[in-house]
Structure 1
C-alpha cells in the first residue's frame, strides 16, 4: 500500500508516539487490516477489538489491480465507523508501469469513494506482488510515486505498505513514511521500524468473537489516525493488557515454528517466475515459467523472507515464491485463482457444499470460517 515520498509527506503530521505502551516490551495492537478474506465483520466484532484489545484503527481492503473491488469494503467501512474507530483503506497493487499505476489509482480512488471511505483517510498502496518483484527499484519508486500522486486527487492521503525485506531494496521507503510488515521470531524487546508510520508485526492475531487470524500493526505516528473524529475509548484496560501480551506470545510461537503445511492451490502466473530446486533464492533455477502458465501446488511455507509453494513434478518438486513473507500461509494475496459462489437467501453451508461437490467442513475451512459461522446473502465464498 504506497507513492513518491515527497508527495506522501504532504499534509502529514510530525511523527509522535501518541499511543502509550501497555507493556514497554510488547508490540501493541493499534491497527487491524481486513479484507474479503475475513468475510463479513460486524460492528460488534469491531467494538470487541476496541474495548478488549485496544485496537484504534482499521484499514480495509478497497481494491486490487484494475478490476477487483473488495465486496466487503462498504460494510467494513460502515461498521468500523459505527464502532467509533479510525478508518483507512488499501489497494493491492498489480501495476508494472507508470501508466498502469495511474490507472489503478483512479480505479482505487473511485472504488473507495463509492464504498464510503471518508475524505482525509489514508488510501495506501500495498506493494508486494510478483509484478513489483520483477521491476527494478527505480521503476517501483516511479510507479509508486505516480500512484500516490494520483490518489491524492480523490482527497485521500497516501502511504506505502510492503515487507521489511523489500523496504529500501525493492523500493525506497524514507523515514517518517511507510507501513512495514516484518514478523520477528521474538516480538518483545524491540520496536521495529519505529521511524515509519506503522509496523505490522503479526498476521495471526486472534480476537475473542472473530474467527481466524488477523494482521495487526503498531502505530508509531498519528498518520493513520489523523483528520478524523473517533470515540475510541477501550472500556476494559485489564483485558487490553492481558490480550496484548497474549498476542505477542502467540506471534512468537507462530514465527518460531515455521514449517511446511498442506495447501493444494492452482495459480495462473501473470508474469514469468523462476521455478527453483529448493525453497530459497539461492537454489538452482530449474526453468523460468512464462506468464500464463498454470501451476498446481501441494504445500507452502514462509522462510527466508518469502512465501514459497511446492509444485509436484514428474521427477520430484519445484519451488516458487508467491511473494514476500507478509503473504500469510492462511491466505495467498498474489497469484491465486479461485472460483467464487455468491450466497443467496436461504443458502446454507450444506447446500452450497453439495452444489459444488465439497465437504461442508472443507468449504467453511477454505473460507477461513467454521460451519457454525453465519453466512449472508451477497457474501462471496471460495468454492474452488
Structure 2
C-alpha cells in the first residue's frame, strides 16, 4: 500500500472507458487487472486473484532528498515472475519541484531496476509538491525523460485532485501520451472490479487504480486501460513525441558537415559570397552534392570541393528560404553512434569517451532531451 490515497467522486464515465474492461486483439493486456506492492506486502508480495496478470512493485524512493530502498523489491519481482505476472516498477518521487533531487533519485535507482527493458517505471507523486506548478511538472518530466532514456516506459502516478492542484498534467501527456496512472476509489469496501462511476475522467489515463481494498485485508487494485502492461513483455513502448529543439544559431559560428550533402529544396551553388555571383551548379531536392564539406561562417552557407587542379575551392551556396541543414562542430571528425535500448546521454558518453554535454549539443539537444533506440548521434 502506498501512502495516502485520494478518493475522487464523479459521474459515470463515457462508454469508451467501459470498453476498456474487455481485452482486445490489438493489446493483449487491455482490461487486465493486478495489484501494486510496497514493503507492506512482504518479500513475496500479496496476491489478489488468480485472474490477475500483472503487478507493480516499489523499488524505493526519495523523500525530500533521503533515498530509502524497499528491501522487499527483489523478492517481490521474483515471486511475481514465478507466478506468471508481468512485473513492473515504481518509485516514490518526493522531489517537490526540484529537478536536482529527481536527478539524484534517478541516478541511484535506474541501475537497480529488475524488471525488463520496456517495462513500466512509474513515479509516485502524491505528497510534498512545491507551490510552483511549473517547477513540479518540470521535475516530473525530467524523471520521466530519464526513465525513457534508460529504455523503460515512464508513467506518472497520483490522484486526480492532487494532480490538478499541483501538476500541469497536460504537459506530461503532450510528451508522454497515455502515461497517467490515476487513483480514485468509490469507498473502502472490498472491490474486485472497477466502479467507473468514480473514474478520474482525464485525458491520458492508461492505468486506473480503482481501490485500496481489492481483497479483504486491503490491497491496491489496478486495471490496464490501454495494454501498457504488455510493455517489456513482447511489446515495446511507443516512443513519445520528441520535445522540439531550437535551431542552432549560425551567426559568428563555424559549423561543418562532412560527407555527401543532399538538398531538400533546390540549391544554387555560386562562385562567390554575393547572391549575384555566377551559378556554377544547381541541385534539385534529393540530388547528392559530392562536396567534401558544407559549412557556415557568419551566417553564410559555403561549400568546399576539390577542383580539377587538385586545389580546394570554396563557394557560397544560395538557398531558397526555408532550406535547412544538420550541423556539427567543424573541429571534429564525423562519427555516428546508433542508440540502443537502455542508452542515455550519460551512458553513451561514457561508452564513447566523450563529454555528455558536448555530445548532446552536437546533436542539437540537451542531456534532458528524449532519445530513442535506432536514432543516430554524431560525435
TM-score, normalisation: structure 2 = 0.47
Whose helix fraction is larger, Structure 1's or Structure 2's?
A: 1
TM-score normalised according to structure 1 size: 0.46
Q: Which has the higher contact order (CA 8 A, sep 6+)?
A: 1
Structure with greater Cα Rg: 2
